[in-house]
């Protein structure tokens, strides 16, 4: 099985497991062994799935402002966890390919494997929820038709992005692409880098 097919399967397992309760406070029960790549992929998608629904909740026009602020802080924290885990997954690939000899003609890719996988995980959520809209009993037939058209495009993106990820990994393994990892250097959660945070004690 190709990497992309395996990852897609893991992502959908995570999404389906979450929707058994469909509650943002549900604790993750990762079914994969701790040292496996599947464990990381499941954890990554679980973060994405919970955050997807947090983003839905915070858009309620009648939400209590205090509760909205709590949710915004929770989403910020989730974003940081997501970034940290993406970088950890890139480290997994770095360790796997660190002894690969890159060819002199090796190219650089603008996106690391894990950040492409990040988009793949989000795409799995888009496919799941768009498919739900094509079946929603309370939706009009026009709505369902439009959502089916969007779903068809998302499924094409699934095929294309999966192929691109598999090709990237193959190119790295063959030395045709040089594996490099850059940290995201997120600043907004860092008390030493965000001026709102590091100046608060001086006011």
Q: Is 75 helix (H, G, I), strand (E, B) or coil?
A: helix
Q: What is the dihedral of CA 129, 134, 135, 140, to 10 degrees?
A: 120
Question: What is the structure's pLDDT at 185?
Answer: 58
- The residue to which tokens 């691109």 are assigned: 164
Question: What is the structure's pLDDT at 177?
Answer: 96
Of the pLDDT bands very low, low, confident and very high (cuts 50, 70, 90), residue 151 is very high
Of the pLDDT bands very low, low, confident and very high (cuts 50, 70, 90), residue 191 is low
Instruction: Give the list of residues 6+ apart from residue 155 with CB closer than 8 angstroms, or none.
Output: 127
The CA-atom distances, in angstroms, between 26 and each of 22, 53, 54 are 8, 12, 12
C-alpha span between 163 and 76 (Å, rounded): 31
DSSP string, 129-193: HHHHHHH-TTS-HHHHHHHHHHHHHHHHHHHHHHHHHHHHHHHHHTTSEE---------TT-TTT
Q: Is 107 helix (H, G, I), strand (E, B) or coil?
A: strand
Q: Name the pTM for this structure.
A: 0.90
What is the chain's alpha carbon radius of gyration, rounded to the nearest angstrom? 20
Phi, psi for 13 (deg, rounded to 5): -65, -45
Question: What is the structure's pLDDT at 67?
Answer: 95
What is the pairing mode between strands 107-108 and 177-178?
parallel
Phi, psi for 177 (deg, rounded to 5): -130, 135
Question: What is the structure's pLDDT at 181?
Answer: 81
Of the pLDDT bands very low, low, confident and very high (cuts 50, 70, 90), residue 182 is confident
Chain centroid, CA 32 distance in Å:
18
| pLDDT tens readout for residues 86-129 | 999 999 999 999 999 999 999 999 899 999 999 999 999 999 99
Of the pLDDT bands very low, low, confident and very high (cuts 50, 70, 90), residue 195 is low
- Say if CB 123 and CB 158 are below 8 A apart: yes
* Residue of 46, 69, 48 whose CA lies nearest to 58: 69
C-alpha span between 68 and 33 (Å, rounded): 36
């Amino acid at each position: 099985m190709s990497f992309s097919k395996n990852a897609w399967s893991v992502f959908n397992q995570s999404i389906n497991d979450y929707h058994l309760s469909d509650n943002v406070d549900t604790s993750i029960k990762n079914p994969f062994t701790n040292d496996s790549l599947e464990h990381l992929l499941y954890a990554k998608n679980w973060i994405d799935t919970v955050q997807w629904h947090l983003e839905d909740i915070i858009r309620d026009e009648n939400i209590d402002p205090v509760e909205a602020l709590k949710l915004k802080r929770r989403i910020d924290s989730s974003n940081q966890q997501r970034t940290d885990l993406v970088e950890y997954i890139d480290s997994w690939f770095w360790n796997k390919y660190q002894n690969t000899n890159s060819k002199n003609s090796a190219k650089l890719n603008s996106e690391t494997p894990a950040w492409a996988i990040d988009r793949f995980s989000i795409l799995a959520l888009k496919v799941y929820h768009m498919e739900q809209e094509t079946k929603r009993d309370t939706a009009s037939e026009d709505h369902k038709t439009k959502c089916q058209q969007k779903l068809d495009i998302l499924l094409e993106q699934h095929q294309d992005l999966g192929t691109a990820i598999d090709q990237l990994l193959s190119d790295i393994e063959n030395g045709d692409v040089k594996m490099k990892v850059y940290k995201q250097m997120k600043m907004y959660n860092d008390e030493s880098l965000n001026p709102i945070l590091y100046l608060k004690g001086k006011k």
